[in-house]
Amino acid sequence: MPQAKAFRAPLLHCLADPREVGIESSYEYFEDGLLVVEDGKVAQIGNAADLLPSLAAGTEVTEYPEALITPGFIDTHIHFPQVGVIGSYGAQLLDWLETYTFPSEGQFSDMAHAREQAQLFIGEMLRNGTTTALVFGSVHKQSVDAFFEQAEKLNLRMIAGKVMMDRNAPDYLTDTAESGYADSKELIERWHGKGRLHYAVTPRFAPTSTPEQLTLAGKLLGEYPDLYMHTHISENKQEIEWVKELFPERKGYLDVYDHHGLIGPRAVFAHGVHLCDNECKRLGETGSAVAFCPTSNLFLGSGLFDLAKVEQYGVRVGLGTDVGGGTSFSQLASLNEAYKVLQLQGQKLDPFKALYLATLGGARSLYLDDRIGNLQPGKDADFVVLDYKATPLIDYRLGQAKTLQERLFALMILGDDRAVKETYAAGVSVHRKA
Ligand SMILES: [Zn+2]
């Protein structure tokens, strides 16, 4: 029998979407809680007073008194080959791609570079408490090999795919419809379902794929069970006009993907800032998901994501950082910006709903809520220890807070990687703050 381990701390996790069950029934909180982990999974969660007496003799108990344990954060949209251009000045989506993104992604033809970047990139996610992410590679299959090698070493639950892009990009970054299909297939065979890894068929966005390539992307989804589909949609108004010019025969942006069989469960569309009602309805009825990327939408001047509208149609919504268009790996920082994006539209983001978006909501949009997203027994033991004393200001502000809701909100507005004391994947520490 594997040795159980226990963690004693205040524990908070979501049980359901506050939108569906109300705030009070949406979460579970144990002021003096105990999380028991066995074989990489949650074995028990509850009050320390109830669970401690039944622990097997000799079980190691790690205590975090001035902290809060939550499930690991889930990032439903991020780019592995764009770490080097995070925080680059003065562009909107289309010139951002030309000026910064494409040259940075070009370097990933070099496996040594890709491996070095994979360590940096995954290290940065773990420093920020992110234990699962849906990740864009570059067009080169070795970028995905490098990413998955590192994720496998750390036994992380990760989803990634090679970009498919056969037009409207520099020669050094394009595949062909056939090579994109063949390379993706090779990566699927090598990685999909290995350990905790999953593959996502990843056309960059409609403008950079020919109809032939999109058809082959759809074919891949039909050939293997449980693959993901990961792309962008309706981020920027110029982009939307361009899609109309390139696909005049289609009814709109989403219809391009729909026509090629690229929507449905496990299809995740980043941004969706300018989706119309019909598109939201179609995404909702097909079980597709949208990744809300607030830091990126503000930074690239793309617009304000209308969470209420999208959710009204039953669309699954996760939270994305969209590094490098996004400006932080931190889901706390993303929630800080999400709150402001919604404020500007007269919407409120309750802190429990915010936690839901960053954890169980993300898991639900990835159809992984039976494995991750909260700390119910049987789930993967992926969790993060948030530090109530992370900075002098956080320490002082939380000292003034009278309720859990107030503490959680202040932590999300003031917190970032400094608020992450330790990150665990499958019950093993994968990052500890120095
Ligand atoms: Zn993106």
DSSP string, 216-283: HHHHHHHHSTT-EEEEEES--HHHHHHHHHH-TTSSSHHHHHHHTT--STTEEEEE-TT--HHHHHHH
- Compute the distance from residue 354 Cα to the ligand 1 centre, in Å: 21
pTM: 0.98
Given this model, what pLDDT does residue 3 score?
86
- CA 25 / ligand 1 centre spacing (Å): 33
Model pLDDT, residue 385:
98
Q: What is the mean pLDDT of residues 336-344?
A: 98
- Between the CA of 206 and the centroid of ligand 1 the distance, in Å, is 13
Distance 200 CA to ligand 1 centre (A): 14
Identity of the amino acid at 365 = S
- CA of 317 from ligand 1 middle (Å) equals 15
Residue 232 C-alpha to ligand 1 middle, in angstroms?
Answer: 6
CA–centroid distance, residue 229 to ligand 1 (Å): 13
H or E stretch including 180? helix 177-191
User: From CA 165, how far away is CA 232, in angstroms rounded?
Assistant: 13
- Distance from the alpha carbon of residue 384 to the mean position of ligand 1, in angstroms: 25
Distance from residue 427's CA to the centre of ligand 1 (Å): 30
Mean pLDDT (the chain) is: 97
Between the CA of 137 and the centroid of ligand 1 the distance, in Å, is 11
Cα 376 to ligand 1 centre (Å): 31
Ligand 1 center from residue 32 Cα (angstroms): 39
With cut-offs at 50, 70 and 90, classify the pLDDT of residue 84. Answer: very high
Residue 74 has pLDDT above 70, yes or no: yes
Output the CA 9–ligand 1 centroid distance in Å: 36
Q: What's the 65 CA to ligand 1 centre distance in angstroms? A: 38
Q: What percent of the chain has pLDDT over 70?
A: 100
Give the integer Cα–Cα distance in Å for 119 and 293.
Answer: 23
Give the angle subtended at the CA of 407 by the CAs of 405 and 411, to the nearest 5°: 115
Ligand 1 centroid to Cα of residue 239, in Å, is: 13
Residue 273 CA to ligand 1 center (angstroms) comes to: 12
Q: What's the 325 CA to ligand 1 centre distance in angstroms? A: 7
Q: Is the pLDDT of residue 387 over 90?
A: yes
Taking residues 369-374, what's their average pLDDT?
Answer: 98
Here the tokens at position 23 are 């705030």
What is the distance of C-alpha 90 from the center of its chain?
A: 25
- Residue 141: φ, ψ to 5°: -65, -25
pLDDT at 406 over 80: yes
What would the pLDDT profile of 122-176 be if each residue is shown by its tens digit? 999 999 999 999 999 999 999 999 999 999 999 999 999 999 999 999 999 999 9
Comparing CA positions, the residue from 401, 417, 419, 418 lying closest to residue 409 is: 401
Kindly give the distance from the C-alpha atom of residue 204 to the centroid of ligand 1, in angstroms, as a whole number: 8
Name the band, by pLDDT with cuts 50, 70 and 90, for residue 429.
Answer: very high
Question: How many CB atoms neighbour CB 369 within 10 A?
Answer: 20
Across the range 94-113, mean pLDDT stands at: 95
- Please say whether the dihedral angle defined by the alpha carbons of residues 347, 349, 353 and 356, taken in this order, is positive or negative: positive
Question: What is the CA(78)–ligand 1 centre distance, in A?
Answer: 6
Distance between Cα 138 and ligand 1 center (Å): 12
Q: Residue 242, class by beta-carbon neighbours within 10 Å (0-12 exposed, 13-18 middle, 19+ buried)?
A: middle
Tell me what pLDDT residue 1 has.
54
What spacing in Å lies between the alpha carbon of 58 and ligand 1's midpoint?
47
Nearest to 421 by CA among 412, 410, 434: 434
Distance 107 CA to ligand 1 centre (A): 18
Question: In this predicted model, what pLDDT tens digit does every residue of 208-249 receive, in sequence order?
Answer: 999 999 999 999 999 998 999 999 999 999 999 999 999 999
Give the pLDDT score at 254.
98
Q: Are 173 and 198 in contact (CB under 8 A)?
A: no
Quote the ligand 1 centre to 249 CA distance (angstroms): 26
Closest to 331 (Cα-Cα) out of 373, 359, 368, 289: 359
178 alpha carbon – ligand 1 mean position (Å): 24
Question: Does position 311 have pLDDT exceeding 70, yes or no?
Answer: yes
Q: Rounded distance, CA 231 to CA 256, Å?
A: 12
User: Which residues does 115 contact at the CB level (< 8 Å), separation at least 6?
Assistant: 146, 149, 150
**How many angstroms is it from 223 CA to the middle of ligand 1?**
26
Q: What is the Å distance from ligand 1's center to 385 Cα?
A: 28
Residue 231 CA to ligand 1 center (angstroms) comes to 8
Q: Is the pLDDT of residue 2 over 80?
A: no
Q: Is 8 in a helix, a strand, or coil? A: strand
User: In this model, does residue 272 exceed pLDDT 60?
Assistant: yes
The average pLDDT across 21-26 equals 98
Residue 24 CA to ligand 1 center (angstroms) comes to 34
**Rounded distance from Cα 21 to ligand 1 centre (Å):** 31
- CA 81 – ligand 1 centroid, Å: 11
- Ligand 1 centroid to 197 CA: how many Å? 20
Measured distance between the N- and C-terminal CA atoms of the chain, rounded to whole angstroms: 33
Instruction: Strands of 261-382 (E only): list them.
Output: 267-271, 289-292, 316-319
> Residue 309: exposed, middle, or buried by beta-carbon count in 10 A (0-12, 13-18, 19+)?
middle
Distance 327 CA to ligand 1 centre (A): 12
